[in-house]
Structure formats: C-alpha cells, structure tokens
Structure 1
Amino acid sequence: MAKAKVTMEVGNDGVAVITFVNPPVNALAIQIFAGLKEKWNEAAMRNDVKAIVLTGYGGRFSGGFDINVFEKVHKTDDVSVLPDVSVDLVTNIMEDGKKPAVAVVEGLCLGGGLELALGCHARIAAPRTQLGLPELSLGVLPGSGGTQRLPRLIGLSKAIDMMMTSKPIMSEEGEKLGLIDAVVPSKELLKVARQWALDIAERRKPWMRALHRTDKIGSLSEAHEVLKLARKQVKQTARNMPQHLACLDVIEEGIVHGGYNGILKEAKVFEDLVLSDTSRGLVHVFFAQRATSKVPNVTDIGLKPRPVKKVAIIGGGLMGSGIATSLVLSNIFVIIKEINPEYLQKGIKTVEANIQGLVARKKLQQDKANKALSMVKGVLDYSEFKDVDMVIEAVIENVPLKQQIFIDIEKICPPHCILASNTSTIDLNVIGQKTSSQDRIIGAHFFSPAHVMPLLEIIRTEKTSAQAILDLMAVGKTIKKVPVVVGNCTGFAVNRTFFPYAQSAQFLANLGVDVYRIDAQIINFGLPIGPFQLQDLAGYGVAIATGKEYSSAFPDRIFMSPLLDLLIKSGRNGKNNGKGYYIYKKGEKPRPDPSVLPIIEESRRLTNIMPGGKPISITDQEIVEMILFPVVNEACRVLDEGVVVRASDLDVASVLGMSFPSYRGGIVFWGDTVGAGHIYKSLRKWSEVYGNFFKPSKFLEERAAKGIPLLGKLFTDICN
C-alpha cells in the first residue's frame, strides 16, 4: 500500500497543484493534514505561485477523515490525538489565505474531504461525483467547518437535510444548489480548475469565502423556523442519539453569532461527541462490519469465488420470493420451484410486486425492473435444475420435507452446485444427513423481508467446504447483503442469541406487567417494534414451531407460556388475520386491542408465577433489563461455544438481522457498555427468585469476576 503523502507541483502558469495521496479512497490521515499545511504554507510564500488547486490522487478526491483515529480516541479517551483542522488549516491557512484555491473533486468527496473543498474558494467537479457529510452516522458532526459553510453555500434547509440524513448528492445537483461551480469531464478538470484559480487571482471571477457569506441563510426568523422544524423531526427519527440535536445547535450558533463563533463551537462539540457512547457504538459497528469479510481458513487460503449465474429456489413463499427478488435485481438468473400452479403463480406475483414497489418508490428505473423480471422463471419440477450453480431451499420448517428435498437435489444438480437451506433454526447436519454431499451443504439464512434486510447468515458445518462458504459470501456481497459466517447449532448465531427475547417478554407478561408498556419501553430503547408486536407480525405458528426447537435443544432454560396457545384458540393469529395483541387494519397504524387483556389474565392464572398472586412492581429500566439481559446471557453462551468467528460478528448480526440499535454498538458491545458485573448480578438475583431461565452462564460469570470485556478475544473454532 502506498504511503500517505502530499505532493505539490508548480506549473509555468503560476498554479500550484497540491495532491494528497492515501489509496484507496484518500482517507484523511493525520499525516495528510500535516502535509497539506506544509505545502499550503510553502505555496503561500513562493513568489512564483499565484493560485492553488487542491486534488486527490487516483480519480477520487477523498472518502473523508481516517476513522482509525476515532478508534484510538475511544481506546485512550484522549482527544488530543485529533488534529486541529477546522481553525488552523481550513479557516486560517486555506480559506483566509492570501492566494485563491480551487478544489478539483472527482469520484468521492465525503466528510472531511468535502469540508476541505468547502474551505477552497471554488469547486470544480467531475460528473457523478458523490458529495456528502455523513459524520452523524458515526455519532459525531462535521468537525472541519461543514456545519457552517454548507448552509451558507446551498441554503439552510438543504444543508440540514444532507447532514441529518448522511445521504450524499451528486455533483450535478451540487451545481444547481451552488455547492459546485462547474461540472466538467474528468479529462478537463485540472485545465478548467487552473484557469478558474487564475481568474480569481486576477479578479476576473469572484473570490468567495464560504464562511463570510450570508445571502443563502435567510432572515434570522426564517432560520429559527427551519431549525425548529428540524429539531421536531429529529426527536422523532433519531431518538437516543445526541449528535443530531448537537449539530443543529452548532448550526444555530453560527447563524446567530457568526461563522467564526460557529466554527469554535463546532470544534468543542465534536470533541464531546467523539467520546460519547453513541460514537463508540457506531464506530465499533463500522469496523465490525468490515471484519466480517475475513474468515480464517476460508478467505486467507488463496481460493477465489466461483461464478454463480443461476440459482434455483425451492419454495416461492414470503422468504423464497424475497430471496428471488434480491438475486434477479443483481442479474442472477432464478428458477422458482413450487408444488402446484397456484402457489407458483403467487410466488412470481410476489416477486413482481416487490420489484414494482421499488419502481413506485423511485428506487429502481422501469427498464431495470423489466430486466430483473425477465430473469425469473417458475417451474413445477426439477427438470431445469441440471445447470444451476446453487439451490436455496426455502420451505416450511419441516425436517422430513427438507431431508427429502436435499436427497432429490443431490441427484439432479451438477457436482459443483451449492446445496443451501434457508432454515432459521434446524441443525444442518439433520437436514443433510441422508445425503453424501456434506461438503456442499450450507445454510443461507436470510431475514424477512429477504429483499430488504441486509444480513445473510452463512452457516457452515464441520464438513462444509471452504469453497462453498467463499462462493456464498461472494453471492451475498453481489446482492448487497452483509455475509456473516457462523457455526451450525440450533438457531445458529442470531436466532439462538435472541430466543430468550420473546420468552423474557412472555415471562414479564405473566408476572403481571402490561404488554403494551413492555413494547413501549423496548421501542424507547431503540428497537423498531416491541416483542409482542413482533410476534404479531411473524405469526404465532412460527413462534410455536421455533419454540419447540429451542425447548428440545435448551430444556434447562426455557419458559413455557400458554399465552400463544390461548391466543390461537381465541381465533387470533396476529397481523395474518388482523387480530393479535394489536388490531391491524389496512391503511391504519396498529392499535392495542383491549379485548386481548382477559386472555392475558387467563395465561397469568395458568402460569401462576406472580408473587402472592399480584403483579410485580417494576421500573421502565428494569423492563428493558429483564428483556435484554437474558439475550446478552445467551450471547455469552454463543461466544463460549465458538459459534461466531469473533464477538463483533454477533454485534453486526444483531444490528443487521434483529434491528438492534446500531448506535448501541450491537448486543455484545452494549453488554460491555452496561457492564458484565451488573448484568451478572441482576441475572443471579432474578434466577434466585424466578428460576433457571435467568441463570447466568459460566462465560458471563467468569468475565464479570475477572473484569474482562465480553468483546475480549475468543477462540475462532466454529461449533458443530
């Protein structure tokens, strides 16, 4: 890898071209800032330099600040390692320098990269260049003047939208907004920028210092209204995260008291935010997700993924059609097999609806939708399976049925074909025990809805070949999923870890805690819906079927509640028939159903676990802890058994597969934030009162006793 550096070349025209180099995305490492300061000062002092052009190496301006520095800050709690970029470099040396500067931006111009460009006096961009300030997605705010300069260039409302959503815009839109001065072909960038810089120096073009502008801010009263509306929206969309409101406060400081005051407040607030739990959690997830692509004895032994051009899916239900949608959208031909024409037609129609839904939401162009739909074909037998590269079985959780399917496909499919199951809980050794192709059998566990949820849990047995794992990882990346490789045991990594989640909720309900209060507190914690509404959405049959698997596998820590059976007997099946804990009507938000309360009371009478027959008294925080501490406890068992390659894989999987709030860093990271000692003591106390369901695992007990983080190093052996 090339060493990070900054170069300068002065042409005969008197323009100094300063280029920073740090492939692959020219991340702004500390040495880059030092080099920029040195070269800028040199250019300022040289008599043969009239103007400056700033550019990045290799067709990319910059992907932003080097996030590795955040990791160092989080490990040491020392913000002094952060360079003084905003005031010293961007404001004093670049923007207020005596020689004009023009930024040449191409490919990526994000985060700190865009903030450098904002400090220049003009910006020339290549077509389709991404421009954005995504810092809030890492728990901080733009820290090099972006909160002050962007609103002054494009207006307050659009600047706030770009920062709050962390979504980039293209250079073409940037030109219309006033962020970009000109969009020109890549080969003309330097030529146009050099002349533009000279034109500024010779007063043929305006010398625009973004921080000095006020014309696009509007009146103070207008700005206050825009900020008031933004704060209201943020309180709904970014609960529990401090960086959004902090960013709006900093923007307001600059509008009320001037850009320089805004810059100073921005720098202080940035240092506060980078030390926050939110930033620590988001940065942890960022690096943890990168780490999932490295699997010992798979990605490091010189193998290359084989092409997968045609995939057969057995079962066109909700999961099968969702998987098919993901595949055809990435130009992979799909065969859907069903048992009768009616089911097959329904499956194909679901794929069509998924894709047309993307068109309706303007996330997919119609011509691309048509191409995707042309790549799916329905069949009623195995005759077209002779040339497929992969089969994904996606039928109901029925062991004999799955075993027969794998016997059939082993006979008909080519020898290289990967034989995958989308099972969410069943041991793969059981599914494939009647076949002789154990090295090709693998789990491809998608999460519902499969064309939306970003996680692909890849389950390997002791016999699954490294080639099959690598091939499926490559397919996952092709269809824009994050593949996480895990071991083979009941529930695998994600569902195994979270099986106590619904049971804890049932436990509390039977202890007399209001189910809607439980849901509300879990939503307040940061999950999109609570455990009871989740059961409604999944359907009670799924919960009962998976519950039997867990009861068989982990009989020592199961809570058997009669509540679901009682709901089914009363004619309820959640969202499937519009009646569950909530009432579901098309076009309306789900609302609590008071008529379910007598059924819950009957469950409480049957379980008879309320102390003295009376509901327990419990705080909101205790509700969250009694729901989630058993999940952390099970995560500890998953870690102890080596089901995941590294503990952080479980954090990524919990965020992407179970919608655990990313700003809390994932289930294991959150456990460390709360503290293993507190979790252990709480579980031990509850187990003494309520029994083995809450009994702390040995892994948790040992880590709590020794003060070792749950995220500490693990053995990388995968369980069987």
Structure 2
Amino acid sequence: MSAGPTCTMSVDRQGVATIVLTNAPVNALHPDVLAALQRLLEECHGRSDVKCVVITGSGKNFCAGFDIAQFAAQSPDKVKESVSGASEILTRVLEEGSKPTVAAIQGVALGGGCEVAAACNARVATPDAKIGLPELQLGIIPGFGGTQRLPRLVGLQTGLELILTSKSVKGSKAHSLGLVDEVAQTPQQLLAVAKAVALDLASGKRKRVRTLEREDRLEPKDIAKMILGIAKEQTKKRAPNVMHPLLCIDAIEAGILKGGKAGLAAETAAFNQAAQLPAHKALVNIFFAARGTKKVKGVSDGTKLSVPKRKLQTVAVIGGGLMGSGIATASLQAGMSVVLKEINQKFLDAGIQRIHKNLESRVKKGRLSEDKFKQMMSRVKGVLTYSKQDFQRVDIVIEAVIEVVGLKQQIFKDLEEVCRPDCVLSTNTSTIDITVIAEKMRNPERIIGAHFFSPAHVMPLLEIVRSNLTPPDITRDLLRYGSMIKKTPVVVGNCTGFAVNRVFFPYTMAAMLLADAGVDAFRIDKIVQKVFGMPMGPFRLSDLVGGDIGQHVGANFIQSFPERTYGNANGPLVQMNQKKWLGEKTGRGFYRYDKGEKKRTKMVKDLEAIGPVFQESRRAAQQLGVPHLQGVSDRDIVEMIFFPVVNEACRVLAEGVVEKSKDMDIATVMSMGFPAYRGGLVHWADSECGASYIASRLQTFASMFPQQSGFFVPCEYLLHCAYKGVPLSQGQSFYVSPIAKL
C-alpha cells in the first residue's frame, strides 16, 4: 500500500536540508503536501544545524501543480482556503524565511509547482525540465503568487505571454529568460548543483533574492501600462466569452502598479472570482474527461484479457491521400515503421511527398531535427501490391481510402489473405457501419474502426469504433496505438456516423434549414463563431470539408435517419456541386477564396454569386413547406443550431454508443472545436440550458416548422430527463432505450 501525499526531509553534514515533495506520480500539491511543506520549512528555519534548504520532487518530476482532484472533491470555499493559505505560506516560509531556499527542478514544474519554485530564492533545473503556468486552461488563474513572481523574473511582456498562452519552457530556455539561475546538465548532477547554490546563498557568496521585491526585470511603469492595455485588448478579441484571462491581467497589473504584496492580495481575490465562473467548472470537466477516455469497461478497467498485448511496431496505411498520409506521419512520429499502399506509382509518390512535407514543416518550426527527420523517412516503405513479404510484418493496418463500400470490402478481403491472424485490421471510415465493410471477410469480427479527424497528424481525437463482435483485446491494442501516437482515444459503438459525426449531422442541416427559412447564412456563421465560440460557422465548415463530401455524408444520414433529417433536392450544396463550387479546394463555395500575398488565401463574401443560389434554394424550400422566418434573434440562431445536436447526443447516450457523457464532451471539443470553456456538448446542455428548457424549445421549433417537425421533436431520453429533473449526463443511470432492451 503506497504512502499518502506528504514531504520528507533530510539534513546533510554541510547543513543543507533537502525537502522532497512526495505524491506519486507527479508530486501534485495535495493539501497534505502543502501542510507538510510548511511544517518542514518552519522546522528548518528554527534549527541551528540547517544553513539552507533545497526543495525537489520524488521520482522524475518536481511538481505538476495543485492537485486538480481537489476541485472535484472539495467545495469551492475549501479550495479557496487551500489556495489563499498556500500563497501566504510560500511567501513567509519559502521566500522570506531565515534560511535561503533553492528549487531543484527536473521533469515538470507546472502551475503550483512553478510557483513553489518561483518563491524560492534561486532555481536550478535540468535542460529538458518543463516549467510553466497553465492554470488558464482550467478556467482559473495562478493562485500561489505566479501572477506576481513570473513577470518579475522574466519581464512583464514575456511573463504575460507565458501565462496567457499557458506555454511552458524547457529548463535551458528558462535559464536564458531568467526564470532559472543555473542549469544542471544531468538529473544526477541536479541536487549537487542546487546544494552548491544554496550554500553560496547561505554564506553570502551569492546574493539572496526575494522575487516578490524584484523590479529590475520589469519595464518602466508607463511602458508597463501600455503593455497591459494591449494585452487586455488582444485577450478580449481572442477570447470574448471568458473572463478569467482578464482577471489574471488585472492581478498582474495590481502588482506592477502597487507592489508585490498588494499584487498577491489582488491575485487571491481574482482567483476566488475565477473559481466561481462557469468556465472553471467546464474546463475541469474537460480535464477529467480527457483522462477518463482510456478506461473502458471490460477492456482497460483492470479486466484481465487472455490475449497478450501485441507488439505495435509496424503500421500499414492503405491510401496515401490527405488522411492516409496524416496517419502515417503520426505513426512515424511515434517511432513506428510504415508500409504505405497505393494503387499506382503516381499516387504513391504523392502520398510519400505529403508525409515528407508534414515532417519537413516540423523541421522548419524547430520541432524536429534534421537527423530525426531523415530517420523517420527511412522507416517508410511504399508498395503497390499486397505482398506477404511486406504485410506479414505488419502489426496494425489502417485503411484510409474513399468512402466507397465495395472498394473497402475488397480491401479487407485482400488484407485477410496476407496479414497475420493477430494483425489489427482497422478502417478510417467516417460514417459507414463497420459490419457492412466486413461482410466479405471470413472473420468479420477482426475489423475495428479507427476514425481520425483531418489533418490526422494534428487533430487530437481518435474514435475507436467497435461492433458487438469486436474482441476486447483488439480494442485494447487500438487504445494503446492511440496513446502511442498522442491521440485522445474515445471508444464508441457502431452506427452510421458513430458518435461525433452522427451527433453533429443536425449542425449543418439546421443551418441549411434556417437559410432556407430566410435567415442570412453569413449572419449564422458570425453568430456561431463570434457569439457561441465555435472555430467557424457551419457554412465555412462546409467549405473547408468540401461540398461534395458534405452532400455525400449528408445523404448517408438522410438514408439512415429519414424521419429526423432535413434535405432539399435543390439546396445550396446540390447547386454548388453542379457548378463545381466545392469550397476552399476549388476556390469557391459559400465564400470565395482568393490567393493573396505570400500564398495566403483570402476569404471573401461574394453575395452577387451566392445570392441566386440561396434564392433558388428558398424557392424549392417553400414547396417543402419551409416557413419564412422574421425577427430571429442571435439566441434563436444558437438554439436552433445546437439544440438538435444535443437531441441527437441524447439518442447516442440512450443507445450506449458512448459509455459516458464525458466521452461525448471531450469528443465534441477535440473534433468539432466545441468551445472547451463550455465544457463539451452535454456539460453545456446541463449547466447553461437544462433538459426542460431544451425540450420546450425544441417543441416550439417543431411547431414553427410543421413540415419538418421531425427534425426538432425531442427524443424520449431528453423528455425523460426533463420530466424527472435530472441532468442529461446522468440520464443513462435510469433510462433503458428500446434498442438496449432487444
């Protein structure tokens, strides 16, 4: 049984006390750790045999910050108490105590860990240590003095950039910025260097610095005011729907203008205010949701499986297009070898060139060395046939060809002949039922879905699609592969569109319906992006994806769910596809895309061209009984676009397509760009709307569109939650769907 979170201390013959933060695996600042740290520091300051103190962390890390679990386990008032108390403790016993203190940093020193280090009188780090203040990602601000000390160590402008972007820096970079005083070249040297610095401070050879009193790195106050003003304006523009970044700037400003101690008081007040905002609860929900996706019932929840874990060393990617080359790139970056299969040499060369460009861009950005780039490219082998020589060594196959059922069926029939029986066979289909793809296989249970989002080497989500036949060991090993390539994997059930695409098919359809009802499409895009916070509106998204793909995918949903979809045979996508206006890739869609300077594409509204398309679509929509709407508010637009999406998410929850609502939350954030500060789709529906309100509004929309009422009618799961007064996220605990009963 492991010991509880605490700190340990030892004193050597030279009089150096070493305090070790001990809370595996990352030494998070649990309240018990903070209490032990205070007690041991006070003991050190009172002992005559102690000259100085070195603070370090057990294992491979210094400290990853305040224990995030406390946000869920404790009341907001208790968390406030812990944070405000810690800020005072760090100032009194770390920075101002009678014995000088030094932080010895390896691994991570993030959040509260960085703040502990900043409160010490000096800092020593290994070159690859990771140091930063990422608190804004949790909807709060640094609360242990970080808003005051970091700008005093690195300068106001750099400090603002690091805090507002949640960027971390490596130890070597931290040294050049002034955040770290010395660099120990290896972890083995770290304590020795830190102790030497501490003894120099104790003897007076090195001047003892109290960070909170420093002003030598700060810009003059008139310049500082200008920098802070610019930061506020940029923050309002970049994040218009959240307050906590502005609260953070206010706390920094108070310290710059009124002094460090006044700044600490302002920081505590701002932290307490931020902790009460909806964004904090939402972002904490996303934090835990991301870490809970790998725990899958019967697969990775401690269940012992009879099939041993596969060695995942070589992946075969079938298809070298944008998606396939992205998957290959991600696999190479994980240290795997890649077999890239194409149908002819031209396509194969193009696929390898795409991989080359993907990796080359990382070299240009300084994220990949030239040597590693060459090593990665050496692990790519292009092939034109399914030779056993190549495919017998493959551990996992990912098919990434166009969405044609017959083609995919033939590919898996061929793969079954040449791959080892233990090889994982997966498809990157975005909408097709995986059991349909497996119909021509001798062993259809082997197939599993590995649905990436484009660009595959950048987007963080991997949907793992399993059918009722999929063995747990295949799911387990695809989860492992997802982790290897640094994706957040979400295991979902098998149906048209799976989880993400199925839940979001009403998103674009609702936008098309509103446009057909007379609402300006460009206004819809603006409201969805600027007011709600999506990265782009539905019409802009359609242009990015491609109108041809959008129409094809939409047809799949109309076929699968005809009673609750909206389609117009002469709608904008149909007309634009006929004109070959396929979106950004052809230079024209709902918007026009002009090549500007430095190869940048300029997006413009071309009302003269697109206006007649909408007019023709509206004429056709009138024949379908679509009413003409007037006086539609911004809120109406948001609700008409997103409440049908929530409604479909309720069906997905009811059918058990996702095991838990948090999986739906993280999936919508990481794939569709649903605002993280809203906590994900289901969290937003529960916290900002509520089941009763959503159900009522959907019923209102259904009455407004009598001929399209099926698109809006609330589903049984949503109505159950509304009637019983329970959150949508808890509905699965009482609701048994008709499908689940079968």
Q: Same fold (TM over 0.5)?
A: yes
- Residue-by-residue CA offset, 1:568-608 (whole Å, 9 max, x unaligned): 22341111211111011232321112110111011011111
Q: Tell me the residue number matched to 1:411.
A: 417
Count, aligned residues: 719
**In structure 1, how many angstroms separate the alpha carbons of the residues matched to 2:731 and 2:16?**
52
Q: Tell me the residue number matched to 1:623.
A: 637
Q: Tell me the residue number matched to 1:532.
A: 539
Query: Residues 239 and 610 from structure 1, CA distance in 2 versus in 1: closer, same or farther, beyond 3 angstroms?
Result: farther
Q: Tell me the residue number matched to 2:466.
A: 460
Q: Tell me the residue number matched to 1:542.
A: 549
**In structure 1, how many angstroms separate the alpha carbons of the residues matched to 2:146 and 2:21?**
20
Query: Residues 647 and 77 from structure 1, CA distance in 2 versus in 1: closer, same or farther, beyond 3 angstroms?
Result: farther
Comparing 274-283 with 327-336, greater Cα deviation is found at 327-336
Check conservation: 2:299, 2:473, Cα contact below 8 A.
yes
Query: Which of 301, 304, 309 is the equivalent residue of 1:302?
Result: 304
Check conservation: 2:310, 2:395, Cα contact below 8 A.
no
- Deviation of the 1:447 alpha carbon: 0.5
Q: Tell me the residue number matched to 1:426.
A: 432
- Residue-by-residue CA offset, 1:158-187 (whole Å, 9 max, x unaligned): 111111111111111222222211112333
Q: Tell me the residue number matched to 1:636.
A: 650
**In structure 2, how many angstroms separate the alpha carbons of the residues matched to 1:28 and 1:340?**
57
Q: Tell me the residue number matched to 1:654.
A: 668
Q: Tell me the residue number matched to 2:718.
A: 700
Is residue 684 of structure 2 the alignment partner of residue 683 of structure 1?
no
Query: Which of 420, 432, 438 is the equivalent residue of 2:444?
Result: 438
- Deviation of the 1:86 alpha carbon: 4.3
**In structure 1, how many angstroms separate the alpha carbons of the residues matched to 2:338 and 2:199?**
57
Q: Tell me the residue number matched to 1:473.
A: 479
Comparing 76-85 with 15-24, greater Cα deviation is found at 76-85
The 3-state SS of whatever aligns with 2:104 is strand
The 3-state SS of whatever aligns with 2:653 is helix
Comparing 26-35 with 380-389, greater Cα deviation is found at 380-389
**In structure 2, how many angstroms separate the alpha carbons of the residues matched to 1:522 and 1:488?**
30
- Residue-by-residue CA offset, 1:358-392 (whole Å, 9 max, x unaligned): 22232222222212222222222111323322221
- Deviation of the 1:637 alpha carbon: 0.3
The 3-state SS of whatever aligns with 1:388 is coil
Query: Residues 361 and 87 from structure 1, CA distance in 2 versus in 1: closer, same or farther, beyond 3 angstroms?
Result: closer
- Residue-by-residue CA offset, 1:480-537 (whole Å, 9 max, x unaligned): 1111111001110110111100101001101111111111111111111110011111
The 3-state SS of whatever aligns with 2:102 is strand
Check conservation: 1:309, 1:389, Cα contact below 8 A.
yes
**In structure 1, how many angstroms separate the alpha carbons of the residues matched to 2:246 and 2:415?**
55
Check conservation: 1:510, 1:610, Cα contact below 8 A.
no
**In structure 1, how many angstroms separate the alpha carbons of the residues matched to 2:148 and 2:98?**
21
Q: Tell me the residue number matched to 2:501.
A: 495
Q: Tell me the residue number matched to 2:590.
A: 581
Note the 1:178-327 alignment, pairs <5 A: 178-184=178-184, 185-299=186-300, 300-303=302-305, 304-327=308-331
Check conservation: 1:501, 1:531, Cα contact below 8 A.
yes
Query: Residues 492 and 606 from structure 1, CA distance in 2 versus in 1: closer, same or farther, beyond 3 angstroms?
Result: same
The 3-state SS of whatever aligns with 1:102 is strand
The 3-state SS of whatever aligns with 2:594 is coil
Give ranges in structure 2 of 5+ residues lacking alignment: none
Q: Tell me the residue number matched to 1:116.
A: 116
Check conservation: 2:19, 2:40, Cα contact below 8 A.
yes
Check conservation: 2:721, 2:731, Cα contact below 8 A.
no
- Deviation of the 1:702 alpha carbon: 0.9
Query: Residues 182 and 512 from structure 1, CA distance in 2 versus in 1: closer, same or farther, beyond 3 angstroms?
Result: same
The 3-state SS of whatever aligns with 2:172 is helix
Amino acid at match of 2:601: E
Amino acid at match of 1:285: I
**In structure 2, how many angstroms separate the alpha carbons of the residues matched to 1:87 and 1:320?**
50
Amino acid at match of 1:663: Y
Query: Which of 356, 360, 367 is the equivalent residue of 1:363?
Result: 367
**In structure 2, how many angstroms separate the alpha carbons of the residues matched to 1:326 and 1:532?**
29
Q: Tell me the residue number matched to 1:556.
A: 563
Amino acid at match of 1:173: K
Identity of aligned residues (%): 45
- Residue-by-residue CA offset, 1:648-703 (whole Å, 9 max, x unaligned): 00111111111111111111111112211211111011112211100001111111
Amino acid at match of 1:385: F
- Deviation of the 1:15 alpha carbon: 2.5
**In structure 2, how many angstroms separate the alpha carbons of the residues matched to 1:234 and 1:712?**
35
Q: Tell me the residue number matched to 1:160.
A: 160
Query: Which of 371, 380, 383 is the equivalent residue of 1:379?
Result: 383
Check conservation: 2:132, 2:168, Cα contact below 8 A.
yes
**In structure 2, how many angstroms separate the alpha carbons of the residues matched to 1:619 and 1:77?**
38
Note the 1:484-523 alignment, pairs <5 A: 484-523=490-529
- Deviation of the 1:71 alpha carbon: 1.6
Note the 1:129-148 alignment, pairs <5 A: 129-148=129-148
Please provide the CA RMSD for this pair: 2.0
Check conservation: 1:33, 1:85, Cα contact below 8 A.
no
Amino acid at match of 2:590: Y
- Residue-by-residue CA offset, 1:435-466 (whole Å, 9 max, x unaligned): 12223110010001111111110000111111
**In structure 1, how many angstroms separate the alpha carbons of the residues matched to 2:138 and 2:150?**
19
The 3-state SS of whatever aligns with 1:585 is strand
**In structure 1, how many angstroms separate the alpha carbons of the residues matched to 2:545 and 2:363?**
26
Amino acid at match of 2:603: P
The 3-state SS of whatever aligns with 1:334 is strand
The 3-state SS of whatever aligns with 2:450 is strand
- Residue-by-residue CA offset, 1:394-427 (whole Å, 9 max, x unaligned): 1111112211221111122211111111110111
- Deviation of the 1:78 alpha carbon: 5.5
Query: Which of 439, 449, 461 is the equivalent residue of 2:455?
Result: 449
> Normalization by structure 1: what TM-score?
0.96
Check conservation: 1:512, 1:610, Cα contact below 8 A.
no
Check conservation: 1:111, 1:133, Cα contact below 8 A.
yes
**In structure 2, how many angstroms separate the alpha carbons of the residues matched to 1:56 and 1:509?**
58
Query: Residues 357 and 202 from structure 1, CA distance in 2 versus in 1: closer, same or farther, beyond 3 angstroms?
Result: closer
**In structure 1, how many angstroms separate the alpha carbons of the residues matched to 2:343 and 2:80?**
65
**In structure 1, how many angstroms separate the alpha carbons of the residues matched to 2:176 and 2:627?**
68
- Residue-by-residue CA offset, 1:170-229 (whole Å, 9 max, x unaligned): 111222222211112333333333333233233222121000111111211111122122
Query: Residues 609 and 118 from structure 1, CA distance in 2 versus in 1: closer, same or farther, beyond 3 angstroms?
Result: farther
Check conservation: 1:106, 1:129, Cα contact below 8 A.
yes
Amino acid at match of 1:401: L
Query: Residues 113 and 552 from structure 1, CA distance in 2 versus in 1: closer, same or farther, beyond 3 angstroms?
Result: same
**In structure 2, how many angstroms separate the alpha carbons of the residues matched to 1:83 and 1:449?**
40
The 3-state SS of whatever aligns with 1:8 is strand
